[in-house]
């Protein structure tokens, strides 16, 4: 319904609301984590860029979509091209796609140095794998990568697909990888 930066502003407003009203919700305002899958991971990473340093304690990025430019591997991949073109066109104007809050892969090192401790999970058979791995390496260089896992033999959105009860199908490896990511995320957030 509304292009960038509306969704990002809503995420940031939500985080700030919970931080400011932590007592009302019985939460620790110093232990707020944010995360998401794919485009949700894009919003989470962009929020980490926008929010005041120290607002977030931890960040979880599952198969993050971090580069919305026409030059990204996802945009060039035949399988993903149609869905990424639609997503990019709906999300923001072309002249904004290299901004770090649209494509966090372009964040400066000084920006990443202010990130909270971050966990990044990538799917081995995913066109977004490369940008996730590159982002994780940059976070590691800045001392902000707490956890990285390349999930073997799975595709994009494997966590949601595994636990989508309507599908009625399962794959042993996909289930094992999804469960492992959930376990690692729980340990990271504990």
pLDDT of residue 178: 95
Distance CA 108, CA 123 (A): 25
pTM (two decimals)? 0.93
pLDDT of residue 70: 75
Whole-number pLDDT of residue 106:
97
**For residue 89, what are the contacts with CB-CB under 8 A and spacing of at least 6?**
none
Neighbours of 46 (CB within 10 A): 24
Q: What confidence score (pLDDT) does residue 73 get? A: 66
The pLDDT value recorded for residue 76 is 61
The reported pLDDT for the residue numbered 166 is 58
Identify any residues that bridge with 33 across adjacent strands, giving them in sequence order: 58
Of 110, 117, 124, nearest to 140 by C-alpha is: 117
- Residue 74 CA to residue 68 CA, distance in Å, equals 8
Handedness of CA 86, 92, 93, 96 (dihedral sign): negative
- Mean pLDDT of residues grouped by 10 in the chain (190 residues)? 94 98 97 97 98 97 92 63 75 94 97 98 94 97 98 94 69 92 98
């Amino acid at each position: 319904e509304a292009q960038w930066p509306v969704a990002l502003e809503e995420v940031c407003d939500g985080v700030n609301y919970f931080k400011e009203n932590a007592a009302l919700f019985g939460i620790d305002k110093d232990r707020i984590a944010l995360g998401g899958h794919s485009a949700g991971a894009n919003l989470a990473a962009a929020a980490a860029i926008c929010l005041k340093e120290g607002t977030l304690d931890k960040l979880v990025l599952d198969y993050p979509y971090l580069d919305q430019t026409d030059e990204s591997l996802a945009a060039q991949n035949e399988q993903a091209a149609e869905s990424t073109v639609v997503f990019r066109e709906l999300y923001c104007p072309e002249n904004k796609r290299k901004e770090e809050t649209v494509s966090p892969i372009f964040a400066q090192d000084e920006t990443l140095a202010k990130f909270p401790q971050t966990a990044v999970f990538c799917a081995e058979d995913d066109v977004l794998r490369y940008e996730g791995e590159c982002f994780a390496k940059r976070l590691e260089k800045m001392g902000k990568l707490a956890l990285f896992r390349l999930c073997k033999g799975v595709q994009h959105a494997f966590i949601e697909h595994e636990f989508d009860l309507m599908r009625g199908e399962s794959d042993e490896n996909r289930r094992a990888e999804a469960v492992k990511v959930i376990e690692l995320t729980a340990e990271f957030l504990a």
